[in-house]
């Protein structure tokens, strides 16, 4: 295809810049676009350079700091019949009038792209909430999209209409499991306390199995809590420190590849652990929603632990170790499904 008539795919990678999980799913999102036939037009907003540098971008990608310039470029491309729209993955609360306005903005952009023969594609979104206006707007987005695929089954229940669901985009990455496993990874949200007795038991059990309990910081806000817990409990800590985003990503991927288990309440810690060959154990409170459980439903087996205390902890940790082959097989099935999805997305974005 001549470069002057290549389809221009507009998307954004702006997110929480201190969260490596946001980089993971947005990198996989960018890989849905075929660089041989489409050019990326990417809004980066106010993201710091280290965040942007963590992405592997194709040669013809164009970045926009200005939302106004990004919007103007999209409109001009749509008028010329060259635009396509790729909307970002991740959680999306349908809880307010502001959320409704964001969804309606996506509907309007989708209509512009469709009017010029392009597609609107949403992959990997997870919607929750009960705001009637926001739900109505998101339903409109589903209807106008050439392809709309959520990352969990509960999104369809939220919207009250049929919505296809496939695994989280993170699982599009190939496995990186090392042959030697000697780590139990622990990654915790800074804003949701976990019973220290439970963590002390995880550390003690790990040591007894000849494994190294290691707190893993992949969200910079978690760093202080991880450092404090590692010191008090006698565990290791893979801190972020002064590493760049790319350097920290490489460090945690290497550690997860040596991990047998990952104990966490962060979805993308669980997913990066699974990619590395670890079995996820999801921490949750009684009757507490869990992004991990929701996203893994029908995709991957997951052992849950009560964040406030688990009286059968050794048994549940041992059960996790024994399910490694089952998790690995499910991971490969999920990846194959996402590869098929990538082929569908590329056809839609190319206007076929």
Evaluate whether residue 117 is within a structural domain.
Answer: yes
Choose between 351 and 94: higher pLDDT.
94
88 pLDDT higher than 90: yes
2 pLDDT higher than 80: no
- Rounded to an integer, the average pLDDT of 146-163 is 98
- Give the bridge partners for 10, in sequence order: 41, 85
Instruction: Give the list of residues 6+ apart from residue 322 with CB closer than 8 angstroms, or none.
Output: none
Query: 4 pLDDT band (50/70/90 cuts)?
Result: low
Evaluate whether residue 176 is within a structural domain.
Answer: no
Which DSSP state fits 179?
A: S
Considering the domain architecture, whether residues 217 and 268 belong to the same structural domain is answered as yes
Model confidence over 219-260: pLDDT tens digits?
A: 999 999 999 999 999 999 999 999 999 999 999 999 999 999
- Residue whose C-alpha is closest to residue 274's, from 210, 208, 226, 320: 320
Which DSSP state fits 7?
A: E
Q: Is 120 helix (H, G, I), strand (E, B) or coil?
A: strand
Evaluate whether residue 249 is within a structural domain.
Answer: yes
Model confidence over 294-306: pLDDT tens digits?
A: 999 999 998 999 9
Rounded Cα distance, 117 and 262, in Å:
45
CB 224 within 8 A of CB 202: no
Rounded Cα distance, 57 and 193, in Å:
37
288 pLDDT higher than 80: yes
Calculate helix-pair angle for 196-208, 223-233, nearest 10 degrees.
60
Considering the domain architecture, whether residues 109 and 206 belong to the same structural domain is answered as no
CA distances from 169 to 22, 29, 147, 338 (A): 11, 7, 15, 7
Q: Which residues of 210-239 are buried (b: 16+ CB within 10 A; e: fewer)?
A: ebbbbbbbbbbebbebbeebbeebebbbbb
Q: Which residues of 107-139 are buried (b: 16+ CB within 10 A; e: fewer)?
A: bebbebbbeeebbbbbbbbbbbeebeebbebbb
Choose between 70 and 2: higher pLDDT.
70
Considering the domain architecture, whether residues 101 and 230 belong to the same structural domain is answered as no
199 pLDDT higher than 70: yes
- Rounded to an integer, the average pLDDT of 179-194 is 96
- Rounded to an integer, the average pLDDT of 325-331 is 97
Considering the domain architecture, whether residues 246 and 202 belong to the same structural domain is answered as yes
Evaluate whether residue 195 is within a structural domain.
Answer: yes
Model confidence over 104-116: pLDDT tens digits?
A: 999 999 999 999 9
pTM: 0.95
Evaluate whether residue 73 is within a structural domain.
Answer: yes
- Residue whose C-alpha is closest to residue 11's, from 110, 135, 80: 110
Considering the domain architecture, whether residues 60 and 143 belong to the same structural domain is answered as yes
- Rounded to an integer, the average pLDDT of 71-100 is 97
Considering the domain architecture, whether residues 26 and 70 belong to the same structural domain is answered as yes
Considering the domain architecture, whether residues 302 and 342 belong to the same structural domain is answered as no
The count of domains in the chain is 2
Evaluate whether residue 276 is within a structural domain.
Answer: yes
Q: Is 90 helix (H, G, I), strand (E, B) or coil?
A: strand
Q: Domain of 232: which CATH number?
A: 3.40.50.2000
Considering the domain architecture, whether residues 188 and 325 belong to the same structural domain is answered as yes
Considering the domain architecture, whether residues 63 and 212 belong to the same structural domain is answered as no
Query: 208 pLDDT band (50/70/90 cuts)?
Result: very high
Of all residues in the chain, the percent with pLDDT exceeding 90 is: 93
Burial of 43 (0-12, 13-18, 19+ CB in 10 A): buried
- The whole-chain average pLDDT of the chain stands at 96
Considering the domain architecture, whether residues 106 and 245 belong to the same structural domain is answered as no
Question: ∠ at Cα 184 (249, 289), nearest 5°?
Answer: 80
Query: 309 pLDDT band (50/70/90 cuts)?
Result: confident
Evaluate whether residue 79 is within a structural domain.
Answer: yes
Place of tokens 């635009």: 83
Considering the domain architecture, whether residues 216 and 270 belong to the same structural domain is answered as yes
Instruction: Give the list of residues 6+ apart from residue 297 with CB closer than 8 angstroms, or none.
Output: 152, 153, 154
Considering the domain architecture, whether residues 220 and 137 belong to the same structural domain is answered as no
Q: Residue 240: which domain range?
A: 183-333
Evaluate whether residue 178 is within a structural domain.
Answer: no
């Amino acid at each position: 295809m001549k470069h002057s008539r290549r389809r221009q795919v507009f998307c954004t990678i702006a997110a929480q810049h201190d969260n490596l999980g946001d980089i993971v799913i947005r990198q996989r999102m960018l890989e849905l676009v075929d660089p041989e036939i489409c050019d990326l037009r990417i809004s980066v907003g106010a993201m710091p350079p280290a965040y942007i540098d963590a992405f592997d971008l194709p040669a013809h990608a164009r970045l926009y700091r200005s939302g106004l310039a990004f919007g103007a470029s999209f409109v001009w491309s749509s008028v010329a019949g060259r635009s396509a729209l790729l909307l970002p993955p991740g959680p999306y609360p349908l809880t307010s009038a502001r959320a409704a306005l964001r969804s309606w903005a996506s509907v309007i952009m989708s209509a512009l792209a469709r009017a010029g023969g392009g597609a609107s594609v949403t992959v990997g979104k997870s919607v929750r909430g009960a705001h009637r206006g926001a739900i109505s707007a998101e339903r409109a987005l589903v209807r106008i999209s050439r392809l709309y695929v959520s990352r969990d089954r509960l999104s369809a229940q939220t919207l009250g209409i049929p919505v296809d669901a496939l695994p989280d985009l993170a699982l599009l990455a190939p496995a990186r499991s090392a042959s030697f496993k000697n780590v139990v990874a622990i990654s915790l949200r800074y804003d949701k306390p976990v019973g220290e007795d439970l963590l002390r038991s995880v550390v003690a059990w790990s040591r007894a199995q000849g494994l190294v309990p290691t707190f893993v910081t992949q969200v910079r806000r978690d760093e202080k809590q991880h450092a404090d817990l590692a010191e008090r409990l006698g565990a290791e800590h893979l801190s972020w420190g002064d590493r760049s985003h790319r350097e920290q990503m490489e460090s945690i991927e290497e550690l997860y590849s040596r991990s047998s288990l990952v104990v966490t309440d962060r979805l993308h810690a669980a997913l990066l652990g699974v990619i590395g060959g670890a079995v996820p154990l999801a921490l949750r409170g009684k009757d507490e929603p869990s992004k991990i459980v929701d996203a893994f439903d029908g995709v991957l087996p997951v052992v849950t632990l009560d964040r406030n205390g688990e009286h059968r902890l050794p048994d549940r940790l041992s059960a996790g170790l024994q399910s490694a082959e089952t998790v690995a097989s499910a991971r490969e099935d999920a990846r194959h499904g996402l590869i098929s999805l990538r082929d569908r997305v590329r056809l839609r974005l190319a206007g076929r």
